[in-house]
Amino acid sequence: MPVYCYRGKDGGITERVFRIGTAPRRVVVDGKVAIRSIVDEQKYMPPTKGWPLTCVGSGVNANQAGELREHLAKHGVPTEVTPDGDPVYRNAAHRKKALKVRGMHDNASFG
C-alpha cells in the first residue's frame, strides 16, 4: 500500500498508509489537522524497480522452492524461484497466470 504525506501548520510531515483511492485530504495528528501534501509524496517516494518483481507474499518456505518451480513449469508458467522460495515474476501477465495456477488472486492488483 502506498504511503501518503501530510504536512501540519508547523511544517512537520506525517506519513500514513492507505489503500489507493482511500487517502483522506486531511488527518488529525496529535490533535492538530494536517493536510495532504502531494509535493512531499513525490519528493520522498522511493524509486520503484518495476519488473521483474520478486514477490515475498506469494513465496514458499525455502525448502519448497524447487517444488514450486516444478509445479509452475508443469502447468505452463515457467518461473524463476529464488533460493528463499520467492517467485520472480517477469511482468503483470506472468504474475497473474502464476497466481492463478496456484489458486491465488491479488484483490489489490486491479486485474
Mean pLDDT, 10 residues at a time, the chain of 111 residues: 88 91 93 92 64 91 96 96 94 92 82 52
Write down the pLDDT at residue 44: 53
For 99, residues 6+ apart whose C-beta sits below 8 A from its C-beta are 58, 105, 106
β-strands 87-89, 80-81 pairing:
antiparallel
Write down the pLDDT at residue 2: 82
Write down the pLDDT at residue 111: 52
Nearest alpha carbon to residue 32 among 5, 16, 7, 8:
8
For 61, residues 6+ apart whose C-beta sits below 8 A from its C-beta are 85
